Structure 1
Amino acid sequence: MYDFCIVGGGIVGLATAMAVLETRPGARLVLVEKEDALGSHQTGHNSGVIHAGVYYAPGSLKATLCREGEVATKRFCTEHGIPFAVPGKLIVATDRMELDRLGALETNARKNGIALRRVDGGELRELEPGIVGLGALLVEASGIVDYGAVARAMGAVIAKQGGQIVRSARVDRIEERGDHVRVVAGGQAWEARHAIACAGLQADRLAAASGVDIDFRIVPFRGEYYAVRPEKRALVRRMIYPVPDPALPFLGIHLTPMIDGSLTVGPNAVLALAREGYEKLALDIADVASFARFPGFWRLIGRNLRSGLGEMKDSAFKASYLEKCHKYCPSLELDDLLPYRAGIRAQAVMRDGTMVHDFLFRKSGNVLHVCNAPSPAATSAIPIGRMIAGKFD
């Protein structure tokens, strides 16, 4: 009998397991992951940014966790020899409306205690000669890292603390057994006093299979990236972000120097037809049926039809995608954009069609389902794990 069973070897599940073992020395813990490697999905397919917390409402849980997570992630990387860099971020306004939004972002950031400064168009060109804009916010604390490497290091910490990690075991359901639970994966099963499900892209399915009455669905959004050709990798030194649309949970297409020395452009945010299909034309009928049968999906589409069609256009035509980049980086050309891996984001959508922008938990007896861990979950994973572990104090 284990004390805890964690389902999911993404960065949130791993951070939760670490937190459980840190606060309960000697606890018997097993983490079950369906893939043969840790961090195989959202953790290993993101942009690798260590966010500082500019975008989130002052005093909100997301703002607090991101600010704590930025510090904790850098500390963890330092302690475990994981390469990271802090090039900083420029959020660039290219028109008057974006300048107004930039002011709101600046107010948020200062209330959240984030160090930043405003730069005008002239200083922007001095800092980044390849970038144009009316002004920008310079956030020097923003960094880059390989979150796959972070996940692997977390796995090593869990093993060192006495936790067990089981790979290649897809959990089918979690059964309540009075004072304990039974976690079932095909012909395998584990009994524990408590279970925490951090199933990411499969969160709704696992919750429903475990008897939880869910009022949401996971709708997958595909984030498509391009790599800038090697000859132009020195185009920018910092991360370059557009000013985001406050009505959407996505940050827009940005330029990101990666920790391996490459430079990427992206992502967009287009509806994915497979939760874990990373190829361009990947299709999973069961995944499509899951959200197509859900009324909240159609309400979401109705409210965001125009922006959704725009994202589809960017996905289908590289020239349209490039046009978004030209707003702040006019020197990029079509031939500069090379194929790069895509990512898929798990977005929880409620029955009324609203996208869940905050954490969503569903608890049943001795089981806690983490149904939505919003961006920037990778940056905030360590304090998120502590928060989740604290729910069992």
Structure 2
Amino acid sequence: MDKYDIIIIGGGIVGLATAYQLSIKKKGLKIAVLEKEDQLALHQTGNNSGVIHSGLYYKPGSLKAKNCVGGYKMLLDFCDQNEIKYELCGKVVVATDEFQLSQLDVLRDRGAKNGLEGILKLNESELKEYEPHVSGIAGLYVPQTGIIDYKEVANKYAELFKKNGGEIHLNAKVENIILKGGERILNTNKGDFKTNVIVNCAGLYSDKVAKMTGQKMNVKIIPFRGEYYELKPEKHHLVKNLIYPVPDPNFPFLGVHFTRMINGGIEAGPNAVLAFEREGYSKTDINVAELLESLTWPGFIKVASKYWKTGFGEMYRSFSKSAFTKALQKLMPELKEEDLMPGGAGVRAQACDKNGGLIDDFLILESEGVVNVCNAPSPAATSSLSIGDVVSDKILDQF
């Protein structure tokens, strides 16, 4: 049986950033990453829109705000040092109705409190200077926002972690965890692994792994699928950089938007619909047991009853290209249904508590010999090095 000082469960960007941070902070530790797939960064990391978030949206003082702002700087420094391509192209947040103007001011204030400089309030004509094809009555220009390929970043973390002596085991799915004195034994389909400390960065299955570690859970991961369209190449001129709506402050999703991608192309979306399995990337992916877990969770029942109109609209857009187009036309009226072609999809691991709260902040739970990262939605990729820094410090405190 292989024995390690630390085992990290999950080979996504947060798990790999934590592994990398540990490998440079404490030489000589024997550290392994266990990933159930045959490649790294396959799920949330490999299916996001590749946006470098600035910290505009997050409540000042929250873990999201602190880690996004700190992680942003760490990420750019890391990319500069390792010749990873990125672009700080900026974005506009567009108000299309009068009632959104006050929320625009809230966002500007949050951005300032989170240390963002150079945010510009735009009137209707100024908005057109940044994005000529957008329709809005006011907006914000945020210069710090950028684009990147997070899968490339994650693989570079992995490369450097291994160079520093770390091990990565692919096709190693954790099926059970046995707590035995000061040791923890992880039963996997690839054999047993023994360790002193477990770090759970299992993303869509983080709540299930946390339960295996003995953590009492008041939250469950509810999977939400986000589906994208792409603009046809002849319509790429409609979008210069990134165009976002003013988000609904009561709902932890940013709404359909336009994103220029680092490797070419323009994404439009996503919507946000309940996925019928935790890794359900298409409408036909259904895992009955996992779906029933979501539908019978008391918190989700409360969320569904509160946001049923919003949820119905998102589901309708999932099955209706014309409805999806109509949502995009709020930002860009000249866009036509035939300008869109099917794009990819991602699944977001959204923690939901028993009382119907969609957990908006990062959630990290600690117990002896265990650190569980139980909620790390966007901007976790932007924040990955900062989260890895925080989690690695928590781990090293246990030695």
Question: Deviation of residue 213 (structure 1)?
Answer: 2.6
The aligned amino acid for 1:341 is G
Deviations 1:32-53 (A, max 9, x none): 0001111000001111000000
Question: Deviation of residue 61 (structure 1)?
Answer: 2.1
Deviations 1:230-261 (A, max 9, x none): 11112121200000000000011010000111
1:159 matched residue in structure 2: 162
Moved more, 72-81 or 133-142: 72-81
> What pairs up with 1:77-226 in 2 under 5 angstroms?
77-115=79-117, 116-226=119-229
Q: Equivalent of 1:260, from 259, 263, 266?
A: 263
Are the aligned partners of 2:121 and 2:139 in contact in 1 as well (CA < 8 Å)?
yes
Deviations 1:273-295 (A, max 9, x none): 01112123211112102212322
CA distance in 2, matches of 1:179, 1:210: 13
1:14 matched residue in structure 2: 16
Deviations 1:172-191 (A, max 9, x none): 12221211211221251111
Moved more, 287-296 or 197-206: 287-296
2:65 matched residue in structure 1: 63
2:33 matched residue in structure 1: 31
The aligned amino acid for 1:91 is V
1:46 matched residue in structure 2: 48
Gaps of 5+ in 1: none
Moved more, 316-325 or 49-58: 316-325
Are the aligned partners of 1:89 and 1:142 in contact in 2 as well (CA < 8 Å)?
yes
The aligned amino acid for 1:242 is P
CA distance in 2, matches of 1:337, 1:374: 27
CA distance in 1, matches of 2:241, 2:101: 20
Specify the SS of the correspondent of 2:184. strand
The aligned amino acid for 2:389 is R
The aligned amino acid for 1:30 is A
Question: Deviation of residue 128 (structure 1)?
Answer: 1.5
CA distance in 1, matches of 2:301, 2:15: 31
CA distance in 1, matches of 2:111, 2:152: 29
Q: Equivalent of 1:272, from 250, 272, 275?
A: 275
Are the aligned partners of 2:225 and 2:280 in contact in 1 as well (CA < 8 Å)?
no
1:322 aligns with 2:329: no
Question: Deviation of residue 299 (structure 1)?
Answer: 1.2
Specify the SS of the correspondent of 1:320. helix
Q: TM-score, with normalisation over the residues of structure 2?
A: 0.96
> What pairs up with 1:337-356 in 2 under 5 angstroms?
337-356=340-359
CA distance in 2, matches of 1:195, 1:209: 11
Aligned residues: 393
Are the aligned partners of 1:176 and 1:366 in contact in 2 as well (CA < 8 Å)?
no
The RMSD of aligned alpha carbons is 1.2
Are the aligned partners of 1:176 and 1:365 in contact in 2 as well (CA < 8 Å)?
no
Deviations 1:46-94 (A, max 9, x none): 1100000000112222111111111111222222222111111100111
